[in-house]
Amino acid sequence: MNILFIADPLASFKIYKDTTFAMMREAQKRGHQLFVCEPHHLVWQSGQAVNAQVQQVHLTAKQEDWFEVQGVHADCALHTFDAVVMRKDPPFDSEYFYATHLLEQAEREGAKVFNKPSALRNHPEKLAILEFAQFISPTLVTRDAQAIRAFHAVHRDIILKPLDGMGGMGIFRVKDDALNLGAIIETLNREGAQTVMVQKFLPAIAQGDKRVLVIGGKVVPYCLARIPQGGEVRGNLAAGGKGVAQAISARDQEIAEAIGPALAQRGLLLIGLDVIGDHLTEINVTSPTCFQEIFDQTGCDVAALFIDALESASA
Selected catalytic residue, list 18, 38, 209, 274: 274
CA 90 to the chain's CA centroid: 8
Selected catalytic residue, list 88, 112, 161, 210: 161
Selected catalytic residue, list 115, 189, 236, 284: 284
Smallest Cα–Cα separation from 33: which of 89, 62, 73?
Answer: 73
Selected catalytic residue, list 126, 189, 210, 252: 126
Residue 25 bears catalytic tag = no
Selected catalytic residue, list 88, 116, 210, 211: 211
Residue 30 bears catalytic tag = no
d(CA 203, CA 293): 24
Selected catalytic residue, list 209, 226, 236, 252: 226
Selected catalytic residue, list 38, 209, 252, 282: 282
**Strand arrangement of the beta sheet that strand 139-142 belongs to:** 139-142, 196-200, 158-162, 172-174
Residue 161 bears catalytic tag = yes
Question: Residue 161 to residues 50, 158, 200: CA-CA distances in angstroms?
Answer: 36, 10, 12
Torsion-angle region of residue 31: left (phi > 0), alpha (psi -120 to 50) or beta?
A: left
Residue 143 bears catalytic tag = no
Question: Residue 29 to residues 8, 10, 15, 22, 307: CA-CA distances in angstroms?
Answer: 22, 18, 16, 11, 11
CB 290 within 8 A of CB 213: yes
> Bridge-partner residues for 224, per DSSP?
211, 245
Residue 121 bears catalytic tag = no
Residue 274 bears catalytic tag = yes
CB 240 within 8 A of CB 180: no
Residue type, 49: A
Residue 122 bears catalytic tag = no
Residue 125 bears catalytic tag = no
What is residue 53's three-state secondary structure?
A: strand
Selected catalytic residue, list 234, 236, 252, 293: 234
Positions marked active-site = 126, 161, 211, 226, 234, 274, 282, 284
